[in-house]
Structure 1
Amino acid sequence: MQFWLKWIAVAAVLAGLTACATGPRTVDADVRTVAAQAPGAAVLLNARYRFERGPLVAGQPAPDKLEAMAQAALARVGALRDDANAQLSVQVGGYVSAYWRDEWGRPMGYGPRLSLGLGFGGGWRGGGIGLGMGWPLDDPSIPAYVSEVNLLMRDLRTGQIVYDTRARHDGPWHDTDNVLAALFVAALEGYPNPAQTVRRVGVPLVPVANATGGSAPPVPTSGAVPQAVPAPAPGAPVMVTPRH
C-alpha cells in the first residue's frame, strides 16, 4: 500500500509540474560538426539538394520519416530540396537505444535488479531450506534513452564532403519522433559556418498546433514532417553552450 501511495504522489507532483510549466520543453544535444572551409563551403549557401540513401541499418527509424525530419530542419537554414536541380546529396541516419540507470544517473547495464533470498528453518519435526526470487518494489532503476542523428552533405559536382554533422541526446524522453526531429535542428546549428568544437545545443519544442503560425521558413510539401510530431519552436533560437 505504501508503495502505491508513493507512486500516486509522484505522479501527482509530475502532473503539477507539467501544468505549471510556462515555456516549451527543451531537448539538449551534444553536437559535433565538420564543415568544408571556403571556397568549398560556398555551395552550402542557399543549397539545393536531393536525398540519397545508404545501406539500411537494423532498428533504425523508417528512412522516409528521417528524411522528412531532416528536410524540415534544412528548410530552417535556407536549404531547399530540389531533386531535379540538386547541387548536393544528403544522407541521414538516426537511432534510439534504451538502457537502465540508477537514481544517481549511472548506467546499470542489466535492467532492474531482482532480489534473491535464501532461508533456513527448523522445528521439532525437522528442518527446511528455501530459495526465493522476486522483483523488489523499491527498485530505483529507471529507463533512459540515447538518441542520435547524423547528416552528411556531399557536393555532387566534385564528390567532396562539405558538411558532416551529428547530434546526440541522452535522457528520459521516449517520444522518439519529437526527440529526433529536434536533434536534426540541433545538428544544423551554425550552418553553414558552425563551430568546429563539440557544443551543447538546446532546441525548444512547441505543440504542432502552435507551430503552424509565426515566421518559420516554409517547408516543401513533399515529405513533410508527420503532424504527430511537435515541431521546434518557429523562429526560436537554439541555445548553444561550448563543451570542452
Structure 2
Amino acid sequence: MKQFSFPSVGAVALVAALLSGCATSITVDSQVQAFSSLTAVPAPATYKFDRLPSMQEPGQARVEAMADPALHKAGFRRDDAAARYAIQVTGRVQRIVSPWADPWAGPMFGGFGWAHRRGGRFGFGMDVESPWYHREAAVIVREAAGNKVVFESHAVHDGPWMDNTMVFPAMFEAALAGFPQPPAGARRVDITIAPAQSQ
C-alpha cells in the first residue's frame, strides 16, 4: 500500500511564489569568495572584455551584457579603445534535482484531487514543476598591460528561478560586492530584485 502525504507549508509557499511571478521582490542569495590586490578603485577604471578561445560563442556576449551593470556599479567604465583592465566574465547554469522533490514516486492526494507527486506536482489536475538551478558566475580582472590578475571573484547560487537575465546580473553584483577590497573568505551575499526588475 502506497503512502500518501499533503504538501508541506514550505512547498505550498514556494509554488505560490512561483505562480505569483513578479508580484513580490525576490532575493538572490549567492555564496561568494573574492581575492583582490587592489586597495582602491583605480582611475581610470576603463575596461574591455577578455575572452579565451573557448569563449567565442554567441552566448558569451549575453553573459557580458548581464555583467555590465554590476561592473559599472563597482566603478568600471567600458572603453575598448583605451582599456586599463581586461575583464573576463563567465556564467554557467545547470538544472539539478529540486530540494522539494519527493523521493516517493507514487501518487498523492492534493488539495482538490488526485495528482502525481514528483518534484512538487500536486493539486487538482495540476502538474506544477518546481525545477531547481545551480548557477556559477565569475569575474577575473587583469591589468591590460602585463596581464596581471588584480581581482578574482566567484559566486554560486541554487534556486528555482528560470530566467538567467534576472538571476545572473544579481550574481555578478554579488561577486563584485565590496570591490575593490572585499572581505576575506567565503561569505553569503544577498541581492534583492525589485518587482519591476523581476518581470
The alignment's TM-score, normalised by the length of structure 1, stands at 0.60
Matched position secondary structure for 1:94: strand
Alignment of 1:1-244 (within 5 A): 14=16, 18=20, 24-37=25-38, 41=39, 44-56=42-54, 62-103=59-100, 137-140=116-119, 142-208=130-196, 230=198
**TM-superposed deviation, 1:190:** 0.2
Deviations 1:96-134 (A, max 9, x none): 0011135379xxxxxx8766xxxxxxxxxxxxxxxxxxx
1:72–1:102 CA distance, 2 compared to 1 (3 A): closer
Does structure 2 retain, via aligned residues, the 8 Å contact 1:27–1:203? yes
What root-mean-square deviation, in Å, do the aligned CA atoms of Structure 1 and Structure 2 show? 3.5
- List gaps (5 residues or longer) in structure 2: 107-114, 121-129
Does structure 2 retain, via aligned residues, the 8 Å contact 1:45–1:79? no
1:46–1:194 CA distance, 2 compared to 1 (3 A): farther
Does structure 2 retain, via aligned residues, the 8 Å contact 1:61–1:94? no
- List gaps (5 residues or longer) in structure 1: 106-111, 116-135, 212-229, 232-244
Q: Which has the larger radius of gyration?
A: 1
**TM-superposed deviation, 1:56:** 3.0
**TM-superposed deviation, 1:148:** 1.1
Q: Percent identity?
A: 36
**TM-superposed deviation, 1:197:** 1.1
Deviations 1:12-55 (A, max 9, x none): x716994996x621111011101114xxx457355111111113
Paired letter, 1:156: A
Deviations 1:128-184 (A, max 9, x none): xxxxxxxx8133564210011111110122321001111110111111111111111
Q: Give the length in aligned residue pairs.
A: 172
Alpha-carbon distance in 1 for matches of 2:81, 2:55 = 27
